[in-house]
Amino acid sequence: MVLSMTGFGRAENVLNGRDITVEIKSVNSRYFEYSSRMPRSYNFVDDKLKKLLSTSISRGKVELSMTVQSVAAADEKIGVNMTLAKQYQVAFDLISEQLGVTNDVTAGTIARMPDVFTVQKSEQDEQQLWSDIESVAKKAVDSFVAMRAVEGERMKADILSRLIFIENAVAKVEENSQDRVSAYTNRLFERLKTVLEDKSIDETRILTEAAIFADKTAVDEETVRLKSHIKQYRDILEKSEPVGRKLDFLTQELNRETNTIGSKCSDIEITRLVVDMKAEIEKIREQIQNIE
């Protein structure tokens, strides 16, 4: 399966009183590069998240964002400062006694006094917290990979169509090459005939020159290799593993063989075919730069 290196995935869930959101996005890179943004108190899961992503992503500059919001005060507990509350009670009793007024203080009155109640962060169960974050992160990864797969299939279809064009161009190069030597031989014969004004022409010399020309301009090896590379390209595109690096190498080989054909042949029709092939190869190169 061909995967794009560009993608986005998001997942959110409320687990054990926490609203957990994980977002993953990536762009092109030669290697797997990871960065993250999350609350400092959750940094202990960062390495685990990196490892989780690396099992599904082999190339790309990946950025993970995570937020964790407490709901229903899951991470907090209420404490009572009883020492302070008793001091408030004593103070109210003293006021009542000194001023001769009724002491109508209730527990509710004391509870409204500053710092009687304290809000404390409860100790986190890191194992449970990681389990919750991991489940949300896995859903985000699934969404991320699915998007990369959709884009990858689009690129695969585009590359296959361009390979068909190149394959047809190679066939035309082979067809034109077959007639090139005989055409050169005839031109050479006519030229010598004109120069020598119908004098005796050494046909052996002409055939020798034609053979030298054929040897210098033969592109059989290049077209055979091009067809082999195209077949390998199609085979690799069907693999269920990262294929970007292999395709990059094969693209260089396609370009190399095409350039060799262009340097060997001065035939205008073959030159046009070479130009068209190079244009398609360049478009393929642009696509595979975004393939994992």
Which tens digit of pLDDT belongs to each residue from 247-275?
999 999 999 999 988 887 777 888 899 99
Closest listed residue to residue 165, CA positions, set 217, 233, 220, 259: 233
Same domain, 82 and 190: no
Same domain, 168 and 258: yes
DSSP 8-state class, residue 289: T
Question: CA 101, CA 107: separation in Å to the nearest integer?
Answer: 18
> What pLDDT is stored for residue 10 in this prediction?
97
Residue 1 lies in a domain: no
What lies within 8 Å, CB to CB, of 281 at 6+ separation is: 162, 166, 251, 254, 255, 258
- Partners of 63 in the beta sheet? 25, 35
Supply the pTM of this predicted model. 0.68
- Say yes or no to pLDDT of 122 above 70: no
Residues 157-181 have pLDDT tens digits of 999 999 999 999 999 988 877 655 5
> What pLDDT is stored for residue 215 in this prediction?
47
Residue 2 lies in a domain: no
Residue 48 lies in a domain: yes
Closest listed residue to residue 253, CA positions, set 283, 275, 285, 276: 285
> What pLDDT is stored for residue 45 in this prediction?
96
CATH of the domain at 45: 3.30.230
Domains in the chain, number: 3
Neighbours of 112 (CB within 10 A): 11
Same domain, 43 and 26: yes
Residue 19 lies in a domain: yes
Same domain, 32 and 56: yes
Same domain, 52 and 94: no
Q: Would you place residue 119 in the very low, low, confident or very high pLDDT band (cuts 50, 70, 90)?
A: low
Same domain, 144 and 185: no
Same domain, 216 and 84: no
Residue 199, domain extent:
153-288
Same domain, 173 and 259: yes
Question: CA 76, CA 164: separation in Å to the nearest integer?
Answer: 64
Same domain, 30 and 136: yes
Residue 262 lies in a domain: yes
| Helices 244-264, 220-237: crossing angle, 10 deg rounding | 160
Same domain, 107 and 31: no
Same domain, 114 and 229: no
Neighbours of 80 (CB within 10 A): 12
Residues 7-29 have pLDDT tens digits of 999 999 999 888 999 999 999 99
